[in-house]
């Protein structure tokens, strides 16, 4: 999509602090971090939300989740614990409609969230 912020980041048209890249996924630091580790993981191809990603049915959701775990390991939060969050739809707080997983860690994360 020509006007999608995350598509432009994936195409390297807009700079981002990239922490991991695979053939199908890209991970970069959130510009408004909510924890010491706050990285967004996106598929390079456009899907609006987690429901659309699940419907892609070609292993892409698996690739995104594996990239999220790789980020947690690389960032040093995997052993202590981390959270992977997909906000789907405006009522859930999704503001960029290109599916993205938030990998959050490096501090205690309370429950319930939000």
DSSP letters along 4-53, please?
A: -HHHHHHTTSS---EEEE-SSEEEEE-SS-SSSEEEEEEESS--SSHHHH
Q: Is 100 a catalytic residue?
A: yes
Q: Which among 38, 47, 98, 100 is annotated as catalytic? A: 100
3-state helix, strand, coil in the chain (%, to 5): 25, 25, 50
Which residues are the active-site residues? 100
């Amino acid at each position: 999509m020509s006007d999608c912020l995350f598509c432009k980041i994936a195409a390297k048209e807009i700079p981002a602090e990239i922490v991991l890249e695979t053939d199908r996924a890209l991970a970069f630091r959130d510009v408004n971090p909510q924890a010491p580790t706050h990285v967004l993981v996106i598929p390079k191809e456009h899907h609006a939300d987690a429901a659309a990603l699940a419907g892609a049915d070609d292993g892409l959701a698996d690739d995104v989740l594996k990239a999220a775990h790789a980020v947690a390991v690389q960032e040093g939060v995997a052993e202590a614990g981390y959270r992977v969050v997909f906000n789907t739809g405006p009522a859930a707080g999704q503001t960029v409609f290109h599916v993205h997983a938030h990998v959050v860690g490096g501090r205690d994360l309370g429950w319930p969230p939000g």
